[in-house]
Amino acid sequence: MDEQLAPAAKRAARERNAFDMVVDRVWRFFCSTRVAVAEIAWVALLVLIGTLRQSSVPHWIGDNIPGTKGIVIRWLDWDVFHSFIFMISLAVLSVGIFIGGMLNRMPGMWQTIRNPTIRTTRGFLNGVTPAATVAAGTTPDGVIEAITAALKKKRYRVFTEKVGDATHLYADKNSLGQLGTYPFHLAMIIILAGGIVTAQWGFRELQFIVPEGGRLDVGHGTGLSVELVQFVDTYAQTGVPEDYRSDIVILKDGEPVKSGSITVNHPLSYENATVYQSSFGQAVQVRVTDANGNVILEDALPMMYQSLLNPDAPAARIDLLPVNASLVIIGPDSNPFNQPELDTLNVRSGEMWVQVRSNDLPAGTMPPAAIVAQGHAVTLDGVTVEFIREKRFSLMQVAYNPGIPIFIFGGIMLVAGLAAVFYFPLRRIRGIIEPAPDGGATGLIAPLAKRDWSGQQDFEHLMEQLKAEPAFTIEPKIGKDAEANSATPETDVSNDEGTA
Amino acid sequence: MEGLVKLSFYCFTAASVAMFAASLAYIFHAVGRVRVERQVLATSTGETVTSTHASFDRGSESAGRWATMLTAFAAVLSFFSVVARIGATKRGPYSNMYEFSLAFVFAILVMYLIFERKYATRQLGAIVLPIASGMAIYIWSLPNSLRESTELIPALQNNLMMTAHVSAAIFAYATFAVSFAAAVLYLVQDRKNLSWLPKKEMLDDIGYRAVTIGFPLLALVLILGSVWAHDAWGSYWSWDPKETAALVTWLIYGIYLHTRTLRGWRGSPSAIVLLIGFAAVIFTYYGNYFFGGLHAYGGV
Ligand code: HEM
């Protein structure tokens, strides 16, 4: 039995070892700041590719650099921001942020906050510039007391530890500021989560078009519909719309539940749905009857298309299924000064150009068309189209955006966290004070500010201020040039400079 | 043009002149004096040998003081220019590239002066002021029609949010201009170590400190922009090119904040990341020229 078990246990141990190794590798991968740089750069590159796709740059490249046409066409086709690669990249980045930017740094940071290493070495202090020497006629304890009092006045926390007859000193300021990195790094994940929540549980209708007097269902299981009572717009002299608004009624299961006006920036909400004003345009109210007098269409058609027959005029198009044809209506030229030669239809104000295109019409045959004045009707191919009157339609958007509170929450966390890290920088000082041969006390103190010019500057200012203290004299250490600071090898003590 | 619009324009004109003069003075101050010495030596054999050698000196201090004065003058004038413009249009300076760029010039000058004072160094001005002057030239090149105060389309009429969004943007970009200048000087110092230019360590610090202001501000720009887009369109992020360009810029500065802590990436490589970051700022700023999209309606 034993002989049989032993190899199995060994194998299990080996497997566990392999498993641990893999976990360790993965963990270290995500902890590496180098990998983080690569991940952020990769996401930035994807965003850039997706951004440029909507610009004139790809066209320029395709036209000017030989042999790039193929790639440019694939580029223009690639919807980067909804691609699988992009999603995976964001997921990997989030895991990295969580493990490397947050979890892995926690123990080190916790230690600098709660339980910093107080002991240092003379070798370390000797190698640091700037530094300062301390001398006093009193005992080391007296000096420590005086320095502690002076540093506390400057909002430093001070810790001391006796090692032999020397006292080691550690002081720091803003040790909590670095915690801002948690809300900050976490906020990025929260914001992405907000995006996922919106995509998963929200909805957005971009083309919610309702003509005056019309009504449209919101769908998405809301049971809501929106009715446009009237549309009002005002213009500046220059022709730029000054303001426009839609007076709407929101209905639930056919019953009016809320009414109000919406303008851009001032939407109207009911339950989960919010109705936004987006744009507007012209609509045409028509009644279409077939050869037998049956009404096959009675509606306001938004004229939101452009026709090749006159690109400057609003056009509407709708299928007339019962007669196997489609109806095209084109309004008067809305910009007569722009390329007047394009206006071949000569539709005047108060008129519409109407065409009925039978699906059975042989190719190359021009479908019948006519110009109709408001209040009149015309019969084309047996179909009678009555132009009742002009109307307006409102282009609205209806959206449910459950991610927005999450997004705003994340945004506040992000900026506040950054402010804490950047504007409350950690400042640290180490020192050793010991009895001097002549009976007084002597010592050396120095900042932990390798490669941190501002930190060194702060230390020097602090020393200038401490010079005024009567209990001890403090002198900048001279004789070493400033390069020494960066030339010091990283000793075990200076290691806690980085929290990672 | 109505009175205030005119006043704004005249202030900007005067500010432009002051900025051009300040640029020259800063360059004169930063480049330093070049002295060529020629010596004629007689050798023991009776031949003579000439040797020349160039020595560089600290630039003229009075040029530096003049430069600072002119910059302060330009800052005050551009401030008046922006204020008069706001008075004329009754809204923040965001309705077109002309107004936005006026405010940007003001922000660059202010951020630069703050850094000049804090670090007691003037040489960065030799790079920042030409950038500000370049902006001024760009403003001069814009069509006259943008100088008139115009009506705004309704989407832009949300005053408070837009003003906050745009103010954060100009100050973010302005601090990035300062960090760009610090990075350029850093790269010069890394190769040449010129005694009269600021020390590398200080330039690295300036670059970093500028980013610690610009990075949160740009985050704020993206967030405020999104919240405003949500109010106007019901969607806080629609992958609009100008939004995404700003996001790329932000990510590049995020990369910088990591590389600066990495052994092997400190110093020059990080300074180069700052240069790339500023290139992205310029690209975002002039993005309107490349893109259609929701931001394209601000005139130009
Ligand atoms: C793979 C994901 C990430 C990892 C592993 C990571 C890791 C880290 C680490 C270890 C630090 C501390 C550096 C030091 O002071 O020694 C840091 C700082 C920082 N990171 Fe990240 N990070 C990640 C993603 C990001 C992203 C996407 C951004 C935003 C663009 C970002 C922005 C920052 C900033 C601004 C700091 C400096 C402030 C601070 O210490 O919190 N990080 N990150």
Quick one: B138 and B174 in the same domain?
A: no
Residues B179 and B109 in one domain: no
User: Does position A482 have pLDDT exceeding 60, yes or no?
Assistant: no
Are residues B75 and B18 in contact, defined by beta-carbon separation less than 8 angstroms?
A: no
- CB contacts of A244 in chain B (<8 Å) are 154
Judge whether A262 lies within some domain.
no
Q: What is the mean pLDDT of residues A413-434?
A: 93
Task: Tell me how crowded residue B177 is: count the other CB atoms within 10 A of its CB.
Answer: 25
* Residues B240 and B206 placed together within one structural domain of the fold: yes
CA distance B267 to A481: 19
Report the residue of B90, B148, B151, B266 to disrupt the A interface, i.e. the one with the largest count of A CBs within 10 Å: B151
Residues of B in contact with A449 (CB under 8 A): none
Chain B residues with CB-CB distance to A240 below 8 A: 150-153
Q: How confident is the model at residue A251 (pLDDT cuts 50, 70, 90)?
A: very high
Q: Is residue B146 located within the same domain as residue B3?
A: yes
From chain A residues 16-55, the ones with a CB under 8 A of any chain B CB are 33-34, 36-37, 40-41, 43-44, 47-48, 50-52, 54-55
CATH of residue A129's domain is 3.30.70.260
Q: Is the CB of A417 under 6 A from ligand 1?
A: no
A163 assigned to some structural domain: yes
Both A290 and A363 in one domain: the answer is yes
Number of separate domains in chain B: 2
Number of domains in chain A: 3
Contact by Cβ (8 Å): B24, B129: no
Worst-scoring range by mean pLDDT, A4-18, A217-231, A380-394, A418-432? A4-18
B62: phi > 0 → left, psi -120 to 50 → alpha, else beta; which? alpha
Boundary (domain end) residue, out of B119, B136, B151 = B151
- Domain boundary, last residue among B83, B116, B151: B151
Same-domain status, A464 and A365: no
- Whether residue B71 sits in one domain with residue B128: yes
Evaluated on CA atoms A409, A412, A413, A414, the torsion sign reads positive
Please calculate the CA angle A382-A383-A389 and round it to the nearest 5 degrees. Answer: 145
Q: Is residue B255 part of a domain?
A: yes
Q: Is residue A251 part of a domain?
A: no
Distance CA A439, CA A424 (A): 40
* In a shared domain, residues B103 and B78: yes
The two tokens of residue A274 are: 């919010």
How confident is the model at residue B42, as a pLDDT? Answer: 72
Which of the two residues, A155 and B154, has the higher pLDDT score? A155
Minimum Cα–Cα distance from A45: chain B residue? B248
* Whether the Cβ atoms of residue B144 and residue B298 lie closer than 8 Å to each other: no
B228: CA distance to ligand 1 center in Å?
A: 27
Output the pLDDT for position B290: 67
Q: Which residue owns the Cα nearest ligand 1 atom 27?
A: A40
Task: Flag whether A421 is in a domain.
Answer: no
Within a domain: residue A216?
no
Please check the confidence at residue A496 and state whether its pLDDT lies above 80: no
Q: What's the average model confidence in pLDDT over A140-153?
A: 87
* Tens digit of each residue's pLDDT (9 = 90 or more) over A310-319: 778 888 989 9
The tens digit of pLDDT for each residue in A341-361 reads 767 788 888 899 999 988 888
Are B102 and B242 found together in one domain? Answer: no
Burial of A301 per CB tally in 10 Å (0-12, 13-18, 19+)? buried
For this complex, say whether ipTM is above 0.90. Answer: no
pLDDT, mean over chain A: 85
- Residue numbers of chain B with a pLDDT score lower than 70: 1, 35, 46, 53-56, 149-159, 290-300
Show the domain range for B175: 157-300
Residue indicated by tokens 């002309």: B98
CB pairs under 8 A between A and B: 133
The pTM is what? 0.83
User: Domain range holding A320?
Assistant: 283-335+344-393
Domain limit, last residue, from B134, B151, B168? B151
Chain B residues with beta carbon closer than 8 angstroms to that of A33: 258, 261-262
pLDDT at A133: 86
Give which of A223, A199, A248, A242 is closest to A395, Cα–Cα: A248
Residues B94 and B221 in one domain: no
Question: What is the predicted pLDDT for the residue at B208?
Answer: 95
Q: What is the pLDDT of residue A478?
A: 60
pLDDT of residue A287: 93
In a shared domain, residues B22 and B145: yes
Q: Measuring from atom 33 of ligand 1, which residue has the nearest CA?
A: B254
Cα(A184)–Cα(A360) distance, rounded to whole angstroms? Answer: 64
Write the CATH number for B98. 1.20.120
Find the B218 Cα to ligand 1 centroid distance in Å: 16
pLDDT at residue number B152: 60
Whether residue B42 is contained in a domain is answered as: no
Residues B140 and B213 in one domain: no
Q: Are residues B4 and B134 in the same domain?
A: yes
Best of A453, A456, A457 to disrupt the B interface (most B CBs within 10 Å) is A453
Residues A155 and A56 grouped into a single domain: no
- Same domain assignment for residues A14 and A38: yes
Q: Are residues A388 and A329 in the same domain?
A: yes
In a domain, B52, yes or no: no
Residues A297 and A328 in one domain: yes
In the predicted structure, residue A363 carries a pLDDT above the cut 80: no
Whether residues B129 and B269 share a domain: the answer is no
In this prediction, residue A494 carries a pLDDT of: 33
In a domain, A353, yes or no: yes
The whole-angstrom separation of Cα A241 and Cα A308 is 26
Q: Which residues pair with B53 in a beta bridge?
A: B37
Cα–Cα distance for residue pair A400/A377, rounded to 1 Å: 42
- Asked if the Cβ–Cβ distance from B153 to A241 is below 8 Å, we say yes
Among A74-78, A297-301, A340-344, which is the least confidently predicted range?
A340-344
Would residue A370 count as lying in a domain?
yes
Question: Do A90 and A123 belong together in one domain?
Answer: no
Of the partner residues A274, A414, A419, the one whose CB lies closest to the CB of residue B234: A274
What pLDDT does residue A135 have? 84
pLDDT tens digits, residue range A438-468?
778 888 899 998 888 999 989 988 888 888 8
Integer Cα distance of B244 and A468 in angstroms: 54
